[in-house]
Structures are given as structure tokens and as C-alpha cells.
């Protein structure tokens, strides 16, 4: 039976690869993001089983409206939406804007939606997979701290959802090329430098992360919950 899958940030990069993976498996996929044209282009490329929904997931009013559009049953929720503020804020107001922004972009986008749809997650086999980052364990100012907060929150969600037979896990990618995340900051020299930090001699591709997400969302992964799966080519070991 086709599963009902929601992928946030499913219009680009890692989220698009995740959405493609589920769509190719015959699942019904809803992709959520802020830019309608990006989502519609993605949905068209993925096929008829993919539905685009526009929402700023850091905005509680927008999430409340989104609830009317989302499926009543959600088998898999992938909290992938997130980004990093590039311009560093200085002074108390700049620091506040940067930290608040990173927590809104990376924590609230996952927490607001997951808490809002928790009663729609399929009892006995539901799956929540959240994308954090290698930055959560290596440290990267407010962005790393916001991704680390997802780890702590995931422990809580796993405990909350476990008695209902629903798992909650995190995938923490290292550098992944071919997404909008870095903008133009990931030139050839930087890619080579980052590839050299891994044990496998390359940076990640969106499909690497999609494969990890797809496994954690599979029925076979029902005995894995509250975990953080690092997907970084061996750049960081033993975390
Ligand atoms: N690329 C990497 O090296 C890397 C490494 C570690 C972790 N990550 C994480 O992986 C996830 C995916 O990133 P990516 O690399 O694929 O970059 P990306 O192409 O920029 O994807 C981020 C997606 O999230 C959506 N999004 C952002 N804020 C949103 C909001 N408030 N509401 C709804 N949708 C929102 C964006 O769409 P709209 O702008 O249209 O809303 C976009 O589709 C992020 O959480 C990122 O932190 C990336």
C-alpha cells in the first residue's frame, strides 16, 4: 500500500532527493516550502503522486492553515526544511537576530509541524525523520546550536511517540553539494578541501542523505528510535 509521506523543504536539494526516493517507491508525497514556483516545478518533475503545499513552517499561523491541506494520515514525516544565516550579526541586536533566526529556521520549522500533526502519525508504524547537521556536534555558532537542539528534541519525541509504535530519528549530514544551502560559497577549491576531510574522499550528494532517510522510514527500521545517524563520509568519527 502506498504510504503518505510529508517532506518539508522538498522543493530543492536534499528534500527533493528524499521526495524523489519515496515517489519512486510509489508513495504519495506532499512537499512543503515557501516558494510556490519551486515546489510546483519539483512536483511536476516527480510525477502525479506529489503534491506541493506552500507554507513558512516557522510561522504558527501559516502552519495552522497548512493543517487543513495536509493528509489526515501521515505515515512518514521528514523534517528537512532549514537554512543558515550567512550575514553575521554583531552587537546585541545582530546576535539576537542571528540566533533567533537560526532557531526559527531550523528548530521551529520541525517542532511546529511535528507537534501539530502528531495525532495524524500512523499508530504502530509511523516514522519521523529530522535532518540536523554535522554542525550540531562540531559547533557552528547559532546554526550548530540550533541543529544540536534538534537532537535533544528528538530524544523527547522518541519517548513521546514510542508507546504509539512511532519512531523518531535524526540524520546528520556532512557537506552535501548540489543544493541551495551554500549559495555560491561552495566553489571547486572548497569542494576539494571538504572532500579531503572525509575518509571516502568526496563530499555528499543529496541522494546519500535520501538513502539514510528512506532506511530509517522503512518498516524494517521499527526497532531503531531516538538515534542520530551521521552521514558524513567519515569526516567525524565516534559521535
Ligand atoms: N547541504 C549541506 O551541506 C547540509 C549539511 C548538513 C545539513 N543540511 C541541512 O539539510 C537540510 C536541507 O538543506 P539543503 O542542503 O537541501 O538546502 P536547500 O536546497 O536550501 O533546502 C532547504 C529547503 O528548505 C526550505 N525551507 C527553508 N526554510 C523554510 C521554512 N521556513 N518553511 C518552509 N520551508 C523552508 C527551502 O525552500 P523555500 O526557501 O522555498 O522555503 C528549501 O527547499 C537543511 O535542514 C540543512 O540545514 C545541509
Residue 6 CB less than 6 A away from ligand 1: no
Q: Which of 103, 143, 153, 181 is catalytic?
A: 143
Going along the chain from its start, the domains and CATH numbers come out as: 4-231 (3.40.50.720)
Question: What's the order of all strands across the beta sheet hosting 228-231?
Answer: 50-54, 28-33, 4-8, 76-79, 127-131, 167-173, 228-231
pLDDT at 48: 81
Q: Is residue 142 in contact with ligand 1, taking CB distance under 6 Å?
A: no
Ligand 1 centroid to Cα of residue 12, in Å, is 7
Determine the distance separating the centroid of ligand 1 and the alpha carbon of 163, expressed in angstroms: 30
| Phi, psi (deg, nearest 5) at residue 114 | -65, -45
Q: Which atom of ligand 1 is nearest to the CA of 209?
A: 10
- Residue with cell string 504510504: 3
233 lines ligand 1 (CB under 6 A): no
Distance 222 CA to ligand 1 centre (A): 26
What pLDDT tens digit does each residue of the chain (239 aa) get?
A: 899 999 999 999 999 999 999 999 999 999 999 999 999 999 999 988 899 999 999 999 999 999 999 999 999 999 999 999 877 778 999 999 999 999 999 999 999 999 999 999 999 999 999 999 999 999 999 999 999 999 999 999 999 999 999 999 999 999 999 999 998 888 999 999 999 999 999 999 999 999 999 999 999 999 999 999 999 999 999 77
33 lines ligand 1 (CB under 6 A): yes
Buried b (16+ CB within 10 A) or exposed e, 122-153: beeebbbbbbbbbbbbeebebbbbbbbbbbeb
147, 172 Cβ separation under 8 angstroms = yes
Ligand 1: does its nearest atom lie under 6 Å from the Cβ of 136? no
Q: Determine the Cα–Cα distance for residues 230 and 114; give it in Å rounded to an integer.
A: 22
Catalytic annotation on 223? no
Torsion angles phi and psi, residue 203, rounded to 5 = -85, 170
Q: Whose Cα sits closest to atom 33 in ligand 1?
A: 33
* Residue 180 Cβ < 6 Å to ligand 1: yes
Contact between 49 and 23 (Cβ < 8 Å): yes
Compute the distance from residue 81 Cα to the ligand 1 centre, in Å.
Answer: 4
Amino acid at each position: 500500500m502506498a504510504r503518505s509521506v510529508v517532506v518539508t523543504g522538498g522543493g530543492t536539494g536534499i528534500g527533493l532527493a528524499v521526495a524523489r526516493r519515496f515517489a519512486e517507491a510509489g508513495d504519495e508525497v506532499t512537499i512543503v516550502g515557501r516558494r510556490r514556483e519551486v515546489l510546483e516545478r519539483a512536483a511536476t518533475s516527480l510525477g502525479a503522486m506529489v503534491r506541493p503545499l506552500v507554507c513558512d513552517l516557522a510561522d504558527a499561523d501559516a502552519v495552522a492553515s497548512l493543517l487543513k491541506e495536509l493528509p489526515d494520515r501521515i505515515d512518514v514525516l521528514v523534517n528537512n526544511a532549514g537554512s543558515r544565516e550567512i550575514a553575521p550579526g554583531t552587537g546585541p541586536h545582530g546576535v539576537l537576530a542571528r540566533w533567533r533566526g537560526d532557531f526559527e529556521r531550523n528548530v521551529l520549522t520541525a517542532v511546529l509541524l511535528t507537534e501539530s500533526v502528531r495525532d495524524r502519525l500512523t499508530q504502530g508504524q509511523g516514522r519521523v525523520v529530522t535532518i540536523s547537521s554535522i554542525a550540531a556536534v562540531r559547533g557552528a555558532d547559532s546554526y550548530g546550536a540550533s541543529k544540536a537542539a534538534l537532537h535533544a528534541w528528538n530524544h523527547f519525541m522518541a519517548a513521546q511517540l514510542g508507546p504509539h509504535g512511532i519512531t523518531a530519528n535524526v540524520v546528520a549530514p556532512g557537506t552535501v553539494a548540489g543544493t541551495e544551502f551554500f549559495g555560491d560559497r561552495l566553489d571547486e577549491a572548497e569542494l576539494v578541501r571538504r572532500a579531503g576531510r572525509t575518509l571516502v574522499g568526496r563530499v555528499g550528494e543529496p541522494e546519500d542523505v535520501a538513502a539514510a532517510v528512506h532506511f530509517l522510514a522503512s518498516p524494517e527500521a521499527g526497532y531503531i528510535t531516538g538515534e542520530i545517524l551521521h552521514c558524513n563520509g567519515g569526516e567525524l568519527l565516534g559521535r
